Amino acid sequence: MQFKFQIGTKVLFGKGCVKASKLEFSKYGKRAFLVTGKNSGKESGALIDVISVLEQEGIEYIIHDKIENNPSLENVYTGGKEAREFNADFIVGIGGGSPLDASKAVAVLAVNDIDPIELYKNTFENKPLPVLAIPTTAGTGSEVTPYSILTRNDMQTKMSFGNEDTFPVVAFMDASYSESMPNEVTVNTAVDAFSHAVEGYLSRRSTAASDIFALEAIKVFGSCINNLIENRYDFEIREKLLYTAMYGGMTIAHTGTTIVHGLGYSLTYFKGLPHGKANGLLMKEYFKFNYETAKNKIENILKILKLNNIDEFGNIMDKLMKYDLKLKKEEIKQFAALAMKQRSSSYNIRSVTEEDLEGILRCSIKYGEHN
C-alpha cells in the first residue's frame, strides 16, 4: 500500500464552537480580514459571533462582504488587494463554498502582489496568510480542503488551485449556522457533499485511507435522504449534513473530483444551475458509465444507501433535483469539450472520451432533439 495522507485543518465541531474557542483567533495575530458574501454570514449569525469574539480579544478587523456566487479571479483580486493594504495577519472566511474558496485566494494575494491568473501556478513566493474557515452551508467541505475553485471567464469554466499551504488552519463547524438555509439550498448542498464522497471513492486517486472518509460520508448522507426529500430538518439532521460535508471534503482533499464536477461546471457557468444540483442531475448516468469498471464499489454505495439498483438511485435524485432545462446539440458538444480540459476527467476511474461525456449529458439532461 502506497499513499500520501494529510489533513491540514484543525476541526472544532459543535454548537457554539466559535465563542467557546475564541483563543484560537488570538493565535494568528491582531488584524483580521473577514471574507464573506452579502447575506449568508449575517443571516446565519456566524458573522455576529465572529465580530463578538474579535472585539473581546482586541483584534482589529475589516469586513469584506463583496464575494460573489462562484467568485471570479477579478473578484478575489479585489479582496486580496484590500487585505494587503490593511496589512492583515489572518483571514476569516465565513459563508458557503464561494466565500470559503475565495478566502484562500485572498490569503495568497494578501502577501503576493501577483496577477490572479498566477494563482494556478500553485507556488508562491510568500506563504499565504492563515485562513480560519466558518461554513454556513453543509456542502462544499471547503473548510477542510486546500482547494479554491474560481470562475475563469477567460476559459468559460471553473478551475481550482490549492496546495498544502492553502488548507484552512482551523475550521469552526457549527450546524446552527446552516439553519437559515432555504430548503432548496439545503438539498443542493447536501447532494454536493454526497457527490464529493462518491467521486472520491470512484477516483483513480482513491486510497484505503480516503475510502474511509468517503464511506462514512455516504452512510450519513443515506440516513438523511428521507428528510431531504420531505424537507424535514431538525438540528440533528443539520449536524449530520454538516458532518457529511466535512468527510466529503476530507475525501476530495486526497482524491480530487471526477467527471461529475467537470461536466457540472458548465451547467453552472452557462445555465445558472446551482453547483450541487448540477452534480445531482449527472450522478445516475455517472454510475451507469462507471459500473463495469467499478462494479464492486458502486454496488457497495447502493448497499449502504439501502437501494437495489442504479435506477432506484436515479428515482431519489429525481425527487431531490427538480429542474427545467434543455440542452442543444452544440451545447452538449461544448460542455463535453470543456470538461475534457479539466484535471478531474483524468481522475475518473474509467477512462473517458469527449464522446463519452456527450453521452452522459444527453442521458442526464432533457435533450433538444430538434435543435
Please write the tens of the pLDDT for every residue from 2-50.
777 778 899 999 999 999 999 999 999 999 999 999 988 999 999 999 9
Amino acid at 273: L
* 261-293 residue pLDDT tens: 999 999 999 999 999 999 999 999 999 999 999
Residue 256's region, left for phi above 0, alpha for psi from -120 to 50, else beta, is left
CATH 3.40.50.1970 residue spans of the chain: 10-178
The whole-number average pLDDT for the span 102-113 is 98
What is the C-alpha to C-alpha distance for residues 336 and 357, in angstroms, rounded to an integer?
5
Residue 241 has pLDDT above 90, yes or no: yes
What is the C-alpha to C-alpha distance for residues 176 and 45, in angstroms, rounded to an integer?
9
Give the Å distances, CA to CA, from 364 to 46, 177, 335: 37, 33, 13
Give the Å distances, CA to CA, from 57 to 31, 114, 136, 244, 365: 11, 32, 23, 32, 52
Q: For residue 210, give every residue at least 6 positions away whose Cβ sits within 8 Å of its Cβ, in sequence order, or none.
A: 3, 200, 201, 250, 251, 254, 255
The CATH topology of domain 183-367 is Dehydroquinate synthase-like, alpha domain (1.20.1090)
Banded pLDDT at 82 (limits 50, 70, 90): very high
Q: CA angle, 307 as apex, 293 and 178 as ends, to 5°?
A: 100
Set of cell numbers at residue 187? 438539498
- Contact yes or no for 211/219 (Cβ under 8 A): no
Amino acid at 287: F
Partner residues linked to 358 by β-bridges:
none
Average pLDDT over the chain, rounded to an integer: 95
The CATH topology of domain 10-178 is Rossmann fold (3.40.50)
CATH 1.20.1090.10 residue spans of the chain: 183-367
Q: CA angle, 273 as apex, 272 and 277 as ends, to 5°?
A: 170
pLDDT on residue 323: 82
Burial call 231-267: b when 16+ CB within 10 Å, e when fewer: eebeeebbbbbbbbbbbbbbbbbbbbbbbbbbbbbbb
Q: For residue 80, give every residue at least 6 positions away whose Cβ sits within 8 Å of its Cβ, in sequence order, or none.
A: 105, 106, 108, 109, 110, 116
What's the whole-model pTM score?
0.94
Computed from CA positions of residues 136, 142, 148, 150, in that sequence, does the dihedral angle turn out positive or negative? Answer: negative
* 139-196 residue pLDDT tens: 999 999 999 999 999 888 889 999 999 999 999 999 999 999 999 999 999 999 999 9
Banded pLDDT at 246 (limits 50, 70, 90): very high
